[in-house]
Structure 1
Amino acid sequence: MKTINLSFPLTEEVRKEIAVPQVLAMGQFDGLHLGHVSVIESAVRLSKEQGIQAAVLTFHPHPKEVMRKGDYQGYLTPLRDKEEILEKMGVDVLYVIEFNESFSSLLPEQFVTEFLIQSEVKVAVVGFDFRFGHKGAGDEHKLRELGMPHMNVVTIPPLMLDGKKVSSTSIRSVLHEGDVKEAERMLGRRYSLRGTVIDGEKRGRTIGFPTANVEPSESYVVPRKGVYAVWVLHDNQKFPGVMNIGVKPTFHKDRIKPSFEVHLLDYSGDLYGQELTVELVEFLRPEQRFPSIDELIAQIQRDSETAKQILSN
């Protein structure tokens, strides 16, 4: 899969590069949850039927982050993660439009004529709630109207689970509750965080439970503070583990920024400077303050045993 970064106005060189007959799925696609997957899979299927390129268009940074509006609280699926998932789905090209205040002022008519039609989009595939152009003035009906007769528009209905619409907002909500099982169900995969192991307080090794202090590589949505059973992916291997997300109240009173500390259950070695991907499997308990180090150690032992049982199933 090829990634092409775009910024408006497009140069003549870029216009020529992207002028390829294609089916284009469009959206923010933060989360790449099952609803988003249904949009992209439809585009890939249509591209194969028509024998033309399958492409995806997304925006970066997130519009809410740029405009400082709404409830932006980090990414469910940062761009690098998004690229890896889309490539596995059979997408040929990913267009990443730089979302800035200048682009946000683009009228729907300009977006269609200056990008979609000029890039030879034959079919645009969008979700039912797709909006585009200045202040979200364009919707699927406007897109269809502006695209005629050059471009067809296919609208994918919402994906429902147990009568509820799958959405990025819903996934954020259940993550804040610690319900990573429900997040996994809506995402179609486990929620994961990627980061580099950095120097920590090294307190874990002194109590028999060495931990890797993971510094997230992106601004991820932070799940509920607490302890989780996790899988840790490193160097093409997978290790069971326990992760604490929080401020370690047993040792700190006024810390605000959460840390991400992982204890790998079947691993010994130096992970400093290494990149880990941590998949959240199940919430074990809220973060709590213990009156003594011995009680903390006893609880960590129980957490480790619980995690082993969960991850062995």
Structure 2
Amino acid sequence: MKVIDVEFPFAKNLITTKQVVLVLGFFDGVHLGHQRLIAAGLKEAKSRNLPLMVMTFDKHPRVVYAHETNFAYLTTIPEKAAVMAKLGVDYLAVFKFNEQLAHLAPQDFVDQVILGLNAAVVVAGFDYTYGDKNIANMRHLPEFSHGRFDIVELPEQVFAGRKIGSTIIRQDLLNGDVTEANQLLGYPYSITGKVVTGKQRGRTIGFRTANLALPEHKLIPGIGVYATKLLVHGQWHEAMTSIGYNITFNDTQQIFIETNIFDFDEDIYGETITVAWYKFLRGEKKLAGLAGLKEQLKKDEQATRAYFNNI
């Protein structure tokens, strides 16, 4: 798959001179709903012998329209690209969401962006908008297209009776409901970052931890202890991870992400690792010093091992 950074205005045929099946959306999380949308696009692409292109933006529309400076993403651009490559996407067009693009009239968006990308077919969800939601919506897209491309619209997607949506998944994660979030994502939620030096209390009680640097603008699940897996040096390891303030030691100023990797004793300071969240075990609680912490960590390890032994 080829990833292309695009800044509006752009020259037609910038990416390919061939017509394409174009899938539209922001795709934060590339969740099950997004995957079904891309699958619909892939079906069209194969039936017409055309390449499949996905168009997304480098930042969430709320960052531009509502000037949110602390928006937390489910996936980074590289993470989106990795999932989309597995789904059969040929081109990922990542548009810089600047003010000029954000304020395009609906007809101009169709003429200059959709047709500028050589779309023969446009595939989008029922709630996709490209400007004022009362006008620039899927209901009016045929009017703006003037028959120059075909349109495939997917209805609201659900899983086990729940709407599949990035907003719902974010709320699940913030509530610690990683199991629910993972069901809607279609894969375990993960965070990638570098291992940094922590307080190093764990090693004194036999629970050495890898401390993950907090990633910028990436959503962190709710406070608590989780059954997780950790990817390091290309291999996954079972682990348990705490997200919290170390309240046992009266540290309430900074959130820490600390992972104890089972059956692992390598020095990985400075390494890039990925932590994948599987199950919420418990909330954060104040313990009786190192002794209380050690006893609780033993229980957490037992609970984590039992979980992975039964899935």
* Shift in alpha-carbon separation, 1:182–1:16, aligned structure 2, 3 A: closer
Aligned to 1:8: 8
Question: What is the percent sequence identity of the aligned residues?
Answer: 35
| CA shift in 2, pair 1:261/1:253, >3 Å | closer
For 1:259, the equivalent position in structure 2 comes to: 256
Q: Which moved more, 1:60-69 or 1:111-120?
A: 60-69
Residue 117 of structure 1 contacts residue 147 of structure 1 at CA under 8 Å; is this kept in 2? no
More divergent stretch after superposition (289-298 vs 221-230): 289-298
* Number of residue pairs the alignment of both structures matches: 310
Deviations 1:239-272 (A, max 9, x none): 01010011111123431x4211101011110111
* 1:162 aligned residue: 160
SS at match of 1:96: strand
- Contact kept? 2:173, 2:222, Cα under 8 Å: yes
Deviations 1:85-130 (A, max 9, x none): 0000010000001112222111111111112113210000000100
Specify the alignment match of 2:232 in structure 1. Answer: 234
Q: Is the Cα–Cα contact under 8 Å of residues 64 and 72 in structure 1 kept in the other structure? A: no
Amino acid at match of 1:209: F
**Structure 2 residue 305 is matched with structure 1 residue 311:** no
- Decide whether the 8 Å contact of 2:21 with 2:123 is kept in 1: yes
Question: Aligned in 2, Cα 1:109/1:100: closer, same or farther, shift over 3 Å?
Answer: same
Distance (Å, rounded) in 2 between the aligned partners of 1:298 and 1:68:
47
Q: Flag the 1:124–1:294 CA change in 2: closer, same or farther, 3 A.
A: same
Asked whether the equivalents of residues 13 and 118 of structure 2 are also in contact (C-alpha less than 8 Å), the reply is no
Q: Name the counterpart of 1:296.
A: 293
Q: Which residue of 2 aligns with 1:65?
A: 63
Q: Is the 8 A contact 2:18 2:118 kept in 1?
A: yes
Q: Secondary structure at the match of 2:9?
A: coil
TM-score when normalising by structure 1: 0.94
Note closer, same or farther for the CA distance 1:16–1:69 as it changes in structure 2 (3 Å cut).
Answer: closer
CA contact (8 A) 2:249 2:289 kept: no
**TM-aligned CA deviation for residue 22 of structure 1:** 0.3
Aligned to 2:93: 95
What is the root-mean-square deviation in Å for CA atoms of aligned residues?
1.8
Shift of 1:63: 1.5
Secondary structure at 1:45 match in 2: helix
Question: What is the CA-CA distance between 1:302 and the residue it aligns to?
Answer: 0.8
SS at match of 1:17: coil
TM-score of the two chains, using structure 2 as the length reference = 0.94
